[in-house]
Amino acid sequence: MKILVIGGTGHVGTPLVKILAEQGHDVVICSRGKLPSSHTYPNVRSVVCDSSDLNSLNKLAEQETFDAIVDFPGTAWNVWCTFKDKVNHIIACGSMWMFGYPRTVPTPELTQNSCCFGGYIERYDEIITMISENFRYKAAFTAVMPPNICGPGKIPLDTLGGRDIEVHKANMRGETVYLPDGPEALICPCDAYDLAMVFALAINNRTNAAGQIFNGGTEHALTASQFVNTMGEIHGTTIPIEYVSWQEYRDNISPSIGHWWHFYAHMCPDISKAKKLLGYKPRYTSEEALARAVVWMKEQKLL
């Protein structure tokens, strides 16, 4: 198949391109100008296109044909509007946060509560619309919902809920971590390779993937304190934990909702549908994904 990967130079796009190329697909990386740095396969090439611009996508559609398109940057609605009568399969990347605060853990691929994040609200509405329009046009539609993306290539989630290298350095020194008091949230760092594999499996199993939303994820999640302890084990140190009230945590410790939400709302995906319909089997545990990310940071001399 000839597959267009929009965002093919990103954290999940990079391993996906490698997987697809090694499977023998013809892969076209679409980006706004960033050239791939690690793909030397003869069946991989790149095009420059801004998927947020319908005119740019229309020009690409006039120039080339594709069997499938994967969208990572959140421009799937533009892709759908442009290519729904031109390709066989469109696959979008979303986020488990789109489901809202979970009512069920592990969390299935269903709306749980209203989402708190504006951009995700709009994109989730688009995904639901594209699911409802599945097979009304030539294209089948599939969405993949990652939990916390981890592994080599990107600074992983830190113990304040962000991706700050200075917080990781503090973890390495064994400095105290503050967590909100009360029931602990579940956190699911998932290796980018495993998430890429969900997309690859969906591409290669169009019939089973059509009209479906799939969670990516690991076999198990970590409690907040287990997440901190795992970081300590990776660094060969003990990270002390002190508990504070939720008000103190949100007001003074980690005031950004994009950070403290990690320690408030469970991110523990139910991956049984991807296992059953796609044959998904994650290679790495959450602990291994974190360890691989730390090794990468050290190799990049970030730590």
Alpha-carbon distances of 293 from 188, 268, 300, rounded to whole Å: 14, 20, 11
- Give the pLDDT confidence score for residue 36 in this predicted structure: 56
| Any domain includes 106 | yes
d(C-alpha 65, C-alpha 63), whole Å:
7
Q: What is the pLDDT of residue 62?
A: 96
pLDDT digits (tens, 9 = 90+) for 261-271: 999 999 999 99
pLDDT at 39: 63
Residue 225 contacts residue 289 (beta carbons within 8 Å): no
Residue 34 falls within a domain, yes or no? yes
First to last CA, the chain: 41
**CB of 282 within 8 A of CB of 206?**
no
| Residue 50 belongs to a domain | yes
68: domain CATH number?
A: 3.40.50.720
> What is the value of pTM for the model shown?
0.96
Q: What is the pLDDT of residues 118-155, one digit of tens each?
A: 999 999 999 999 999 988 999 999 999 999 999 999 99
Is there a domain that residue 92 lies in? Answer: yes
Residue 177 pairs in a beta bridge with 241
Q: What is the pLDDT of residue 135?
A: 82
CB 149 within 8 A of CB 12: yes
pLDDT at res. 38? 55
Average pLDDT of the residues of the chain? 96
Would 204 be classed as within a structural domain? yes
| Within a domain: 98 | yes
Question: What is the count of structural domains for the chain?
Answer: 1
Q: Is residue 299 part of a domain?
A: no
Residue ranges, the chain, pLDDT below 50: none
- Which tokens is 274 given? 């991807």
Give a yes or no: residue 171 inside a domain.
no
How do residues 51-84 score in pLDDT, each as one tens digit? Answer: 999 999 999 999 999 999 999 999 999 999 999 9
Q: Which helix (H) or strand (E) is 167 found in, with range? A: helix 165-173
Q: Which domain holds residue 212?
A: 2-150+190-217+268-283
Half-sphere exposure of 233 (CA within 13 A, CB side): 11
In angstroms, the Cα distances linking 287 to 233, 266, 291 are 10, 17, 6
